[in-house]
Amino acid sequence: MGVSMKFTDLDQYLFGQGTNYEVYKKLGAHPTTYRRKKGVYFAVWAPNAQSVSVIGEFNDWEEEANPMEKVGPIGVYEVFIPGAKIGQLYKFFIVGAHGEKLYKADPYANEAELRPGTASRITDITDYKWKDATWIKNREKFDEQVEPMAIYEVHPGSWKKHPQSEENEKGFYNYREFAHALAAYVKEMGYTHVELMGIAEHPFDGSWGYQVTGYYAPTSRYGTPQDFKYMVDYLHQNKIGVILDWVPAHFPKDAHGLANFDGTAVYEHADPRQGEHPDWGTKIYNYGRPEVKNFLIANALYWVEECHVDGLRVDAVASMLYLDYGKKDGEWIANKYGGNQNLEAIEFFKHLNTVVLGRNHGTVMIAEESTAWPMVTGDAEKDGLGFSLKWNMGWMNDFLEYMKLDPYFRKFNHNKMTFSMSYAYSERYVLVLSHDEVVHLKCSMLEKMPGELPDKFRNLKAAYSFMNCHPGKKLLFMGQEFGQLREWSEERELDWFLLNEEPHKELQNYVHDLLTIYKKYPALYAGDNNPEGFEWINADDGDRSIFSFVRKSPTKRNNILYIVNFTPVDRPDYRVGVPKKKQYKLIMDENGLLEQPKTFKAVKQECDNREFSFAYPLPAYGIAIFTY
């Protein structure tokens, strides 16, 4: 066997420690030359198998043709098959611990057959020539704490579609054409990052990619691994960051997948009280097993280092942290101290985040964590989990409950919009209006708003302006920027035809204007994690449902004063207290950016418990953004 391809004693040692961070370069299928013969080196971890062989198009799926040799005590099997070629399909044929015959896809495969097929495909991950060196170099200096992040969450299969055809039954865009269309749109709108759902290979479209069978394979729905890399590369060349949804919390029970991999629980816990999610019908990883931790951590590194992605949004973190998540009494096992914290998952997160962020400066790890677990974004050394950012689910729930209300009832729920500031600095947050909020009878963002259609649009503009000026990074799911009417479905493309109607086009332009000022004024992002960067002018104007606050720039120049009226009542006599006797320049209102900003001069007149103020006639659903 070629020296470089052998699963060596050192490989085995590191894999057994959970620290073989580039193990994907050995396990899986790798085209190589051995003894002057071209072929493919295969390796798989199946610790309790009786025997393993490779079956595929190169041997007519013959179960006995290419038996694998077990190397060392850890349970890795390997074989070199001369004549096997890039593009051919294969599986591992495993005789399990109890003699059962198992036909498994390769857990480390870099490409998979298009569903409903379940085989893996031989590919070469080393043959793509990257052109994003400038982006990668600049990324090392990126600091998410002080830079703007406006994230566009996208499901590639339903953003845009081609007409369906025999060759393309779902009308999917290829990664390359998707890259060109998406980059143009995202640049025009002004987002800084895209967050892509459902990239890792998964058998069922309706899972949106949250039940993964091929962790190391970009889904073949949209093309090859090279096509995928081209997409990341092209987005980088257009100065757009790429974040992927990543699902280390659970995996499906599909026969070709990780479940019961060699006839025993290899990747999951054997005891269903530890190894199954009753609600989701999926398996839970055994985070205490070094080789399983290694599989996941190396996978995160694979996407970041091999595929150049700029960060991972880690799905369902809460389900990993709590042993009793979604379980009734008797359905879970306490930890050694009798508690419900998953100590192994905590250790896993610290290890994961320290390694990924330590090796790749300027990348981000984002937790989707829905509870009040402390220090999710705290330093791993100081007993935090080590994430860069955390989704602010509390803000999202309060904000949407408030926005759904008839404006008359908002005065009784004023604190729903102010409460988030009481914990805004406990973590480093992303404000999110994600796909989860616009599916399964939850209505689109526009349809959540009260009133007739014109009122819905005015409410939504006010809502987005509040989100834009509130501390925290931003994430908005595709289609909500132009007022998609229907809920999202992965089966069809977004309703782009709505942009032929004036109110939808206006809303899209308004979001564009919000993103323009968000990126232009450091006051709106550089002090997100600094309590001195935010100050309420009036947090208690509940009777009128008006909110006013300032965002302060670290340089003290171009601070922002923000006012919003969440009722359909005009306030021609409105007056706002201000921090200083200065001139306040109106740069944006409910109609968008002003071509000619208007100046308002503060005078010595007490208002909002402040010495200085100025009058500003605030319209129904009025929005006013000033610089000073």
User: Which of the residues are catalytic?
Assistant: 315, 368
**Sequence-distant contacts of 393-399: CB under 8 A, at least 24 apart:** 393/368, 393/369, 393/432, 394/419, 394/420, 394/423, 395/420, 395/429, 395/431, 395/470, 395/472, 396/431, 396/432, 396/433, 396/437, 399/463, 399/466, 399/467
Under a CB-based contact definition with an 8 Å cutoff, are residues 228 and 185 in contact? no
b/e string for 86-124 if b means 16 or more Cβ within 10 A?
A: eebbbbbbbbbbeeeebebbbbbbbbbbeeeebbbbbbb
Beta-carbon contacts of residue 149 (< 8 Å; ≥ 6 apart)? 192, 193, 241, 430, 473, 474, 525
**Chain mean position to CA 275:** 25
**3-class secondary-structure state, position 323:** coil
For residue 561, the cross-strand partners are 550, 626
116: region left, alpha or beta (phi > 0 left; psi from -120 to 50 alpha)? alpha
User: Which tokens belong to 377?
Assistant: 């974004």
Rounded CA-CA distance 233/229 in Å is: 6
Q: How distant, in Å, are the alpha carbons of 19, 73, 184, 266, 291 from that of 13?
A: 9, 10, 47, 18, 10
Quickly count helices (H) and strands (E) in the chain. 15, 29
Place of tokens 């077990």: 70
User: By C-alpha distance, which of 227, 52, 203, 37 is closest to 123?
Assistant: 227
Q: How distant, in Å, are the alpha carbons of 50, 256, 312 from that of 107?
A: 18, 10, 20
Amino acid at 522: P
Beta-carbon contacts of residue 451 (< 8 Å; ≥ 6 apart)? 406, 407, 459, 568
